[in-house]
Structure 1
Amino acid sequence: MPTRVEQFVSHLDRLSGGIEPRFFPFEAVRDLPPVTVMVYDDVPEPGMLTGFTYGVSLADHPHWQLGRPELCISVKSDDLRWPLVLGHIGETQRGDNPFHYGDTINLGERIAPDSAMTAFVIFAPAVLDRADFADINVGETRPINICCLFPIHEAERRYIQDQGLEAFWKLGWDPYDVKRPSVV
């Protein structure tokens, strides 16, 4: 029987069409196995990076009754800082942050030098079908659900807090463009 991590990586392998990811383990800051980021180059299209965590779902949180999250990001960039920030967020916030859709994460500093973005909004992955990001069976009673972190500007983070994610989503922005100007 494949292990939990083997089942999750196998799921990601199917999604990527067999593209081999690069693995970046993070130093554990909790009494759990460390978070690892898997980075796929040119997925879902050339010029993009897509990253997924594994290890966030190993923690417990009282809100995680029906499933446990892992994080993902897809950006038009070749800068590894974008997917690697998932490992930092995942390792330091797992068990404390419920990673609910519509929540924001403020890093308080630029994520990468090529962008003025300093925050993320959490929502369903736009590049995946629901069957590919929700209720991923890893051999346990609580499946994995993939939550996407979309890079945003500080002004957009405040707008989401004031007006809600739905109002922000309707503003017509490119969720993958890390060099775009703020839409608010």
Structure 2
Amino acid sequence: MPSRAERYLNHLDGLADDVEPDFYRLDSTKDGLADITAIVYHDLPEPGHLIGVTYGLSLSEHPDWRHGKPELSICVQSQDVAWALAIAHLAESLRGDCPFDYGATIDLGEPVSDESAMTGFVVFAPVVLDREDYEHIPVGNDPEDVVTIVGCYPVHDTERRFVQEHGLEAFWGLDWDPYDVTRPPAV
């Protein structure tokens, strides 16, 4: 019988068009919780892009998680794995504390990558996946053990503050490219 992690990875592999991922492990700093894994797919959804997905956040608990537990994802026009490692770091350091719900903003306080001035993320649905591919993914023997993949979108500090003041919908309606990590701030 496949493990919880194997079921999750089988689901991801079914979406990845036979692209083999790279795996990066981040040691757990939380007693009793396993390490976090960053799963990185290069050249998806098209050449020059990278998709990163975490595994291990959903092993923790949060009182706001009632209909599944999140894992984080990112899709950027870049080959720098720092983007995927950044969301894995967020998953590891904030698990149990942050619900990673839509509209949440996270400030790293420093640029994520040398190629960009972006210092934070906003959380929303992953735009590169269809709803049935990111919601309620069965991973455990218990039918209640489901994962929902949420998207993390790199943002400039001014954009992060805009989301906090005006909401996600107002930000999402602006003219910006969610994949472009070298874009200027939208606000």
- How high is the TM-score relative to the length of structure 1? 0.98
Instruction: State the partner residue of 2:30.
Output: 30
Partner of 2:54: 53
One-letter amino acid of the counterpart of residue 180, structure 1:
R
1:35 touches 1:53 (CA, 8 Å); kept in 2? yes
Matching residue within 160, 163, 178 for 2:163: 160
In the TM superposition, residue 114 of structure 1 has moved relative to its aligned partner by 0.9
Measured in 2, the distance between the counterparts of 1:180 and 1:12 equals 29
* SS of residue matched to 1:36: strand
Which residue matches 1:148?
151
Distance in 2 (alpha carbons) for counterparts of 1:103 and 1:54: 19
| Mapped pair 1:172 → 2:175 | yes
2:181 is equivalent to residue 183 of structure 1: no
Provide the aligned length of Structure 1 versus Structure 2: 184
TM-score by length of 2: 0.97
Amino acid at match of 2:147: I
Equivalent residue number for residue 118 of structure 1: 119
- CA offsets 1:86-117 (integer angstroms, 9 cap, x no match): 11111111111000100100001111111110
User: Once the 2 structures are TM-superposed, how far is the Cα of residue 142 of structure 1 from its aligned partner?
Assistant: 3.0
- The residue number in structure 2 matching 1:103 is 104
3-state SS of paired residue (1:24): strand
> Which structure 1 residue ranges, 5 or more long, are not aligned?
none
Distance (whole Å) between structure 1 residues aligned to residue 164 and residue 113 of structure 2? 23
Task: Describe the SS at the equivalent of 1:90.
Answer: helix
Distance 1:100 1:41 in 2: 26
Report how far residue 18 of structure 1 moved.
2.1
Mapping of residues 8-87 of structure 1, within 5 Å:
8-31=8-31, 32-87=33-88
| Contact kept in structure 2, 1:65 and 1:142, CA below 8 Å | no
Q: What CA distance in whole angstroms lies between the structure 2 residues aligned with 1:137 and 1:69?
A: 12
Q: What runs of 5+ residues in structure 2 fail to find an aligned partner?
A: none
Q: Give CA-to-partner distance per residue, 1:100-141, whole Å, 9 cap, x none.
A: 100100001111111110010000000000000000011231
Letter in 2 for 1:131: E
Matched residue SS, 1:2:
coil
- Give the SS at the match of 2:137: coil
Deviations 1:144-172 (A, max 9, x none): 00011000000001111111110111112
Whole-angstrom CA distance in 1 between matches of 2:17 and 2:6: 16
Aligned partner of 2:148: which letter?
A: N
Query: Distance in 1 between the 2:96 and 2:36 partners?
Result: 12
Question: Match of 1:15, as an amino acid?
Answer: L
Residue identity over aligned pairs, in percent, reads: 52
